[in-house]
Structure 1
């Protein structure tokens, strides 16, 4: 741009081209003289730093160094400086505002699924989006919406793997896979190993049916990393494991000792049933603060782990089922849960862990 056109037009035209590239789902790479002064000096000018950050705020996919690392005196410092500017700008990027400004009027099924994926990711507090792609089409559709969470994109094509590196927020993973279940296990192993997600997190999975066919993005699934039985409000306390039991009223006798008690509301009269239990799951509405305060008071008095606002817990958990209560995450898991390292080992047991790192 600076060679072909007047310099005073470059900022406007650069912004226009970035916007058009984003609408079409194509990566926009901003390059040349980004940190020019670092060819000879250890620090960039404030104007250069601002220029790099503004490229990120304009939603450019990539910023590129050239002479700074090719012939400059401080190539490593230049790369580190560029990385730190990008990271700081990404923290301040208005992701939701950008998403709301996107024109959703499209009759294309793949675009509709991509929009629904990002919208659901925000509403479900998902920690990552998994895509299975052969051409990179699915990842491009989602990346142009600039979700705040990482897009773990699994592909069996080396060419696509290289191209995905240019897309905003996309973390490409190269591995062969044949089934949707195998693809999910590979993506999960990679995401856990590299700390993009943790056990119990919610993720969005986007791919196509028939599976493995190019250009058929038509499916979105909300999944959990691990066997999550119910979700509630995080609190404090140690994990508890035991048999689930429903306590429907304080007027009836229940054998609750050493068990995980599930109840819809709570008051002082429930203390006798709760004082010897292993854990408490309160399925209260967020407006039912009286029940919540009462249950938390009892849990503190007897040092009992508790999860509150566990929506639909009595529907999702069967009485007599063995569950693990994790108050710190606000989660209830099916069965007994060990450490995250053991979980990672279990998830990655069927594949070569080194291949997906």
Structure 2
């Protein structure tokens, strides 16, 4: 399967048995949600994943998902507030003396400072919507409900269409990231990214830890992040279309087109892109998905997603393995359609030498009916460029760097492969891999890309494409 599946680990999937079955079903990226814990809670889980990685013989990527500055209300004094359309409530840090309206505690002062009459305010992932009427005593605001519902403690709050500048890395996130790197995570996802500076902050922490090749994933959950997509793409290693909070921030009818535009931009930039949230949500309680869900997953693949992500489905669902198996089958059928309808596209004229080498490798593979493409790459950059062209052939990415191997799990169609460095030549290593790998039969054509430096010089990136016959 070319499209990669990310599975979130939770109570339904923490056991050795279920994790082993998820790996057998095709999962190579496991998400640890730090919104619901700290590094100390994941120590045994990381150890178990490394044991299973050794048993399966394939790189397993551990993704740390930081909680970010999620804006939440406080604890409701009576546990819950029931509101009807047109009802009025107070929102603020302290209930005014003698107040008769229901009170919602909220102490995020930067958000309160930016509220104005007429602003829209959304609670409970879009379930409840309010309009700000004006100010009230004790720094509160009076709100009017646009629909009916129940408000419970600690629910998320959003301000659609309004920019609230909060750094993506909270103090908790900074500690969690440092602890996660020490624990051995392979990638980190930043929640509520708004600017390229958010990504640079995370990369500085990673650099200070001494870890290399740790991808930083920018989760697009706010409209102002989408508005700065090109700038964020230049800094991020991977993009996630996080449709949960993004669907609250943006009008729902606009979300499908927004997803397609984000994926298209990522494909052009050769950056892996993940589509997440409610992909097979019904399978939390059902052994099969809805027809709409199967179409959603297929469309994400056809749009060009490198990865599709499962959250509640594998974290707390009753059918975590069956969900992955369904997703794998849906993606495979979508990939078949992709090859029926899409043709290998030449890079734009402004692209560089590396892009045209990747295109040449894919073109050679297509025209010669090659069994596969083998890319020797120390950083994985060449393999990712080949992946971005979406060749019919699988791409075996050879590298001796374990961090690079695990980072390559995010890219479509790539099979990361550890390669020994007992012989110096990159081409020689690639040819030996073809000669010894059971994936290739005698007489198969295989396209090889590698960096072949002049004698006595260090490699400076991929500079060679050749056809090799086993």
Superposed CA deviations along residues 283-324 of structure 1, whole A, max 9, x for unmatched, are xxxxxxxxxxxxxxxxxxxxxxxxxxxxxxxxxxxxxxxxxx
2:433 equivalent to 1:187 = yes
Could you tell me how far apart the structure 2 residues matched to 1:16 and 1:88 are?
Answer: 23
Distance 1:64 1:26, change over 3 A: same
- The answer to which of 39-48 and 117-126 deviates more is 117-126
Report the Cα distance in structure 2 between the residues aligned to 1:44 and 1:151, rounded to whole angstroms. 30
Question: Which residues in structure 2 correspond to 1:1-357 (within 5 Å)?
Answer: 1-94=246-339, 97-100=342-345, 102-106=346-350, 108-177=352-421, 178-188=424-434, 192-193=437-438, 195=439, 197-210=440-453, 216-225=461-470
Off by >4 Å, runs of 4+ in structure 1 = 211-215
- Sort the Cα spacing of 1:215 and 1:169 in 2 relative to 1 into closer, same or farther, 3 A: farther
Q: 1:215 to 1:68 in 2, by over 3 A?
A: farther
Structure 2 residue ranges without an equivalent (≥5): 1-245
The TM-score, its normalising length taken from structure 1, stands at 0.59
Give the 3 Å change call, closer, same or farther, for CA 49–215 of structure 1 in structure 2.
farther
The 1:67–1:157 alpha-carbon spacing in structure 2 relative to 1, beyond 3 Å, is same
- Tell whether the 8 Å contact from 2:426 to 2:451 is kept in structure 1 after alignment: no
Asked if the contact 2:453/2:460 (under 8 Å) is kept, the reply is no
| Structure 1, unaligned runs of 5 or more | 226-357
* Residue 215 to residue 24, structure 1, CA distance change in 2 (3 Å): farther
Give me the TM-score of the superposition, normalised by structure 2. Answer: 0.45
The answer (yes or no) to whether the contact 1:154–1:172 under 8 Å persists in 2 is: yes
Cα 1:90/1:109, change in 2 over 3 Å: same
CA RMSD of aligned residues (A): 2.0
Distance 1:94 1:34, change over 3 A: same
Q: CA deviation at 1:199?
A: 1.2
Offset, 1:182 = 4.2
Distance in 1 (alpha carbons) for counterparts of 2:350 and 2:338: 25
Provide the rounded CA distance (Å) in 1 between the counterparts of 2:356 and 2:315: 43
1:113 Cα shift? 0.9
Query: What is the CA distance between 1:179 and its match in structure 2?
Result: 1.9
C-alpha separation in 1, matches of 2:351 and 2:274 = 29
Counterpart-to-counterpart distance in 2, 1:165 and 1:50: 24
Task: Provide the C-alpha distance between the structure 1 equivalents of 2:354 and 2:340, rounded to a whole number of angstroms.
Answer: 21
How far apart are the structure 2 equivalents of 1:217 and 1:186?
18
Alignment partners' CA distance in 2, 1:204 and 1:13? 36
CA offset digits 1:98-144 (Å, max 9, x no partner):
423x4431351111111111111111111110100111110011110
Q: Secondary structure at the match of 1:93?
A: helix
Specify the SS of the correspondent of 2:463: strand
